[in-house]
Structure formats: C-alpha cells, structure tokens
Amino acid sequence: MDKKKKRRRTRKPKVVLPRKQVFILTAAIAAVCICMLCVAVLTAPPAAEDFRQPPAVSPSVPAPVTPQTPVSPSVSVQPPISVQPSVEQQPAKQTSPTEPVSVPEPSLPIVPKEPVPPVHPEFDLIPTAAPRAVLVFIFDDGGQNLDQLQPFLNLPFPVSIAVMPELVHSVESAKRVRAAGKELLLHQPMQAKNLAVNPGPGAIHPDMDRDAVRKLLHSNLQKIGPVAGMNNHEGSLITESVTQMDAVLDVCAAEGIFFLDSRTTADTQVPAVAAARGMKIWERDIFLDNTPDRRDILDQLYRGAAIANKKGYAVMIGHVWSPQLASILNELYPLLKKKGYTFSGIRGLYEDFGN
C-alpha cells in the first residue's frame, strides 16, 4: 500500500486547457497556414505556357478584346464589334504613347488616262497623206451571210457595200446597209470567161440581148433598191461586150446611179462605152484580199495609199467573207486618220473628181 501511494504521489500532474483556448489556438494555426499558402501562390512564377506568343489573328477575324481594368457591375459593357477591313482600309498600326502618329496626306483625285492605241510597226510603211487624199473601200458579195456582213457595217468610217440579188439574205442585207448609213450598191452578177463558173442568180449571160439585160437589171434593182450605184460580180466575159455593157449603162443613166467597173479583165470595154456616151464611170484600183494572208492585205493597203497620194483617191475592193479584213481596217483606221487620209463612198468623189 505504501508503495502504491508513493507512485501516485510522484506522477506529474496533467495539463488540461480549457476548450475555448483550444479553439482559438487551432484557428490561429489555420490562419497562419492559409496566409503562407496565399503568399506562395502570389509569388510563384507563371507557368511555362504563359510565355508562348499568342496565335496570329487573321485580318478578317479580329482578336477578342480583354479588359485591362476591372469594370464596375453597374456599368454595362458592349460586346466588341467585328469590322471586316476592305482592300482600301488596312488594320491600324499599333503605336506607343511616345511614338508620333503620322497623318496621311490627302490623295489627289485619279484622272483616267485616255486609251493609247496599240503600236503596230508593220503600219509604219503607210506614207503620210497628200492634201485631200481619199480612200474608198467597197466590200462585195453581200447577201450571203448576215454575220459576216455585220463587222463591215460597224466600221467607223464611210464604206460602200455591194449586195448580190436573189440570195437568201439579199433583201435583209440591203436594209441593214442602209440602216447603218453605208453606201449600198447592186453587185450585179455577170458571166465570166470561164463558162464553168456560175455567177449566181439574176446574172447577165452572153446570150441576152439589150432588152433582156435592161429588164433583168430593173428587176434586180427593184428587189434590193434604192441603191447609189452598181458594180459587176465576176463578168470578165460580159464587160468585154460593147453591146451588153451599153445596155447596162442605159439602165444606170435612167436610174441616176453610177457604175463601178471591178476590172475583172484587162480587156474591159466599159471605159470606152462610157466615154462614147459622155458618161462618168469609176474603176477599181486595188483588190485587198486576193489572199487571206494579213501581210498581203497590208501590202495592198500600202499600194492603195500610194495611189491615193498620186491621183487624189484610190478605190479598193474587198469581200465581206474575208475573215480578218474588217479587224485590220479597225486597227488601221486611227493611224490612217492621223496621217491625213479621208474616207468616202463613191458618191462623195463626184464633187472633186466627177468630171
């Protein structure tokens, strides 16, 4: 018993804290831990991905705008407006506060330049026109195709177009020529020396007498008239006949129209028959498109210009079926005009060269 009492007496007394103090101590320790954690988070370096460059933003998709300062809940914030930059309006360049902002100078109004005609070295061979040199262009074989005819109606200068009779498009072609303000001719078919060549419907044949020739011509003129004149289609045989060509000139005189000899034969009797009657006729100087080659057509044009400079005018015959004649003349027209040439139909020649 005495030993047990001694042991009990020698034990250290237990320290018992009040419950209130324990709660306060625990809260203090927790507060210190939270403060240490906040300090660690605030002072920690940013994560590795924060150092990456932001992805490039296409001009057509503007980058989202992040507000740099806190916004009061009472202030309403409008969503950013996406603006698509046009070609003339490029995105604005970012400038620092210290960098001076350059103000662009006002641009002057753009004045459109006059179109410059293309330069064709091949046209340099055309001589400068003599005073009052006149070019007369006549295009034969109208009445066969309306599409082929149209480019010649569109030429920007006076021309003559000769339409054959009794073809599918003869009447319509004649109407379009007159409506376009061009000079209309009857392209009268006549038999060639080669009897195998068919001159076409409404033609003068060698077995026709004077009355038959007159009757035929009046019929053809009535179908496509009124016309300013007449020239021959083929006809190397008929134009060598004094009798038949005298009948042709009878009709021209009666109708008040001129006759143009296409000169399909060197033995033509038309000038002699006209001289005997005291009648003025006209003659072809140049065939433009004996070949479809561009170089050959240009060479013929150079020859025609030289003739016009020598005698005052040149009568040049082409054909409406020529594939590039109209386009060549369109190209050449500004240069010919610049070099001093004038353009006319046959009627326009009477004032200066009719005697």
Integer Cα distance of 93 and 343 in angstroms = 61
Q: Which residues pair with 142 in a beta bridge?
A: 163
Neighbour count for residue 83 (Cβ, 10 Å): 10
- pLDDT (0 to 100) of residue 221: 98
- pLDDT (0 to 100) of residue 280: 96
> Token digits for 118?
């293309």
- pLDDT (0 to 100) of residue 223: 94
- pLDDT (0 to 100) of residue 11: 55
C-alpha distances (whole Å) from 331 to each of 162, 228, 298, 299, 334 are 23, 28, 11, 15, 7
- pLDDT (0 to 100) of residue 267: 97
- pLDDT (0 to 100) of residue 49: 43
Integer Cα distance of 127 and 338 in angstroms = 11
Integer Cα distance of 274 and 230 in angstroms = 14
Mean pLDDT by 10-residue block, N- to C-terminus, for the chain (355 residues)? 51 59 78 76 55 45 45 43 41 47 54 53 79 97 97 98 97 98 98 95 97 98 96 98 98 98 97 97 97 94 96 98 96 94 96 85
Q: What ranges do the domains of the chain cover?
A: 122-353
Integer Cα distance of 324 and 291 in angstroms = 11
Tell me the CATH class for 122-353. Answer: alpha beta
Integer Cα distance of 34 and 156 in angstroms = 97
Q: Supply φ then ψ for residue 170, to 5 degrees.
A: -60, -50
- pLDDT (0 to 100) of residue 243: 97
Residue 247 Cα to chain centre, angstroms: 49
pTM of this structure? 0.67
- pLDDT (0 to 100) of residue 87: 37
- pLDDT (0 to 100) of residue 313: 98
